[in-house]
């Protein structure tokens, strides 16, 4: 992830992290990266690994694709909520991990994140932390739940994280209406820390707000819901048309790839 963050800073682009649910998603994301020439991150949330697939097997398949890559591609644990979940990802060969301690008290978030950073860095794996409350669509979002610039500076200094997920009005899931991002807060955070900055809850944010967020210092943007919606729409549209399930594998790859490519190109619209 550190190489990808440096690429982002050097070229003024946001790099997309797109979550995968199966090999069709992984193939779509990888192919979009190869065709655009832009770096990308293959994300696997801890809850996906616990409930839907074997993360070790999926990581091994992704590594085989990455061996052929012409671009920077990494495998990232998204929203690791537990110490055991992060250790699983480290053993499975993920090249970066997120520990999400945002639901903990501030001091406990600092303590646990710093411990994970120490272990992961010893294995040459970079770490993303989270500060503030991103939450789910429908949650009440007030400024007291947003990331404090001063606290961000303290958190990064005490934990040594390579990237920090921030709360500036963004939420996970499908937005109801257009979210209002606090760009002044984002600029203040960027002025306090030099690590990578991450925008979670990317699906549904207006195109111009993505560009402004990247202009204000965001390096990594997380996308999943837009992929999910595209895949479900593909199934509905072609349910009667496709004669065998194998047709769906190609259709799903194409639908997800289209969404990923559009976002990647948008995030790179400031590219220098």
More confident residue, 122 or 174: 122
Q: Is 78 a catalytic residue?
A: yes
The confidence band for 254, taking pLDDT boundaries of 50, 70 and 90, is very high
Q: Give the other-Cβ count within 10 Å of 84's Cβ.
A: 10
Task: Check residue 259 and give its pLDDT.
Answer: 97
Residue 142 has pLDDT above 80, yes or no: no
The three-class DSSP label of residue 257 is: helix
C-beta of residue 58 within 8 angstroms of C-beta of residue 44: yes
Q: Which of 3, 31, 54, 78 is catalytic?
A: 78
Summarised one tens digit per residue, pLDDT across range 14-60 is: 999 999 999 999 999 999 999 999 999 999 999 999 999 999 999 99
For residues 85 and 121, what is the distance between their CA atoms, to the nearest angstrom? Answer: 16
The confidence band for 272, taking pLDDT boundaries of 50, 70 and 90, is confident
Residue 64 has pLDDT above 80, yes or no: yes
Q: Which residues pair with 76 in a beta bridge?
A: 43, 96
Q: What is the DSSP letter of 144?
A: G
Rounded average pLDDT over 133-150: 71
Summarised one tens digit per residue, pLDDT across range 187-243 is: 999 999 999 999 998 677 889 999 999 999 999 999 999 999 999 999 999 998 988
More confident residue, 172 or 84: 84
For residues 238 and 160, what is the distance between their CA atoms, to the nearest angstrom? Answer: 48
Closest by alpha carbon to 220, among 59, 13, 51, 71? 13
Rounded average pLDDT over 81-97: 96
The confidence band for 175, taking pLDDT boundaries of 50, 70 and 90, is very low
More confident residue, 192 or 249: 192
Residue 133 has pLDDT above 80, yes or no: no
Own/partner contacts of 58-64, CB < 8 Å, gap of 24 or more, are 58/20, 58/23, 58/26, 59/89, 59/92, 59/93, 59/94, 60/93, 61/23, 61/26, 62/20, 62/26, 62/30, 63/93
Task: Check residue 137 and give its pLDDT.
Answer: 55
Backbone φ/ψ region at 180: left (φ over 0), alpha (ψ -120 to 50), beta? beta
For residues 4 and 39, what is the distance between their CA atoms, to the nearest angstrom? Answer: 7
DSSP secondary structure of 63-108: HHHHTT-SS-EEEEEEEE-SHHHHHHHHHHT-SEEEE--TTS-HHH
């Amino acid at each position: 992830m550190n190489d990808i963050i440096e690429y982002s800073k050097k070229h003024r682009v946001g790099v997309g992290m797109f979550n995968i649910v199966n090999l069709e998603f992984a193939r779509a994301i990888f192919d979009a990266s190869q065709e655009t020439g832009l770096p990308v991150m293959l994300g696997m949330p801890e809850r996906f690994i616990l409930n839907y697939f074997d993360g070790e097997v999926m990581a091994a398949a992704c590594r085989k694709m990455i061996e052929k890559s012409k671009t920077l591609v990494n495998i990232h644990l998204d929203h690791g909520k537990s110490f055991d979940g992060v250790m699983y990802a480290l053993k499975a060969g993920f090249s970066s991990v997120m520990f999400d301690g945002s639901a903990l008290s501030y001091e406990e978030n600092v303590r646990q994140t710093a411990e994970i950073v120490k272990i992961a860095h010893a294995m040459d794996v970079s770490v993303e932390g989270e500060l503030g409350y991103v939450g789910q669509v429908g949650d009440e979002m007030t400024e007291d739940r947003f990331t404090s610039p001063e606290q961000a500076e303290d958190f990064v200094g005490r934990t040594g994280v390579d990237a920090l997920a921030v709360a500036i009005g963004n939420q996970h899931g499908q937005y109801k209406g257009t979210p209002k991002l606090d760009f002044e807060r984002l600029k203040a955070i960027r002025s306090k820390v030099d690590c990578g900055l991450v925008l979670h809850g990317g699906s549904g944010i207006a195109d111009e707000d993505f560009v402004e967020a990247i202009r204000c210092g965001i390096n990594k943007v997380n996308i999943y819901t837009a992929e999910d919606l595209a895949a479900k729409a593909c199934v509905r549209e072609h349910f009667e048309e496709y004669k065998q399930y194998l047709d769906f594998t190609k259709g799903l790859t194409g639908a997800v790839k289209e969404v990923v490519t559009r976002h990647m190109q948008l995030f790179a619209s400031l590219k220098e």
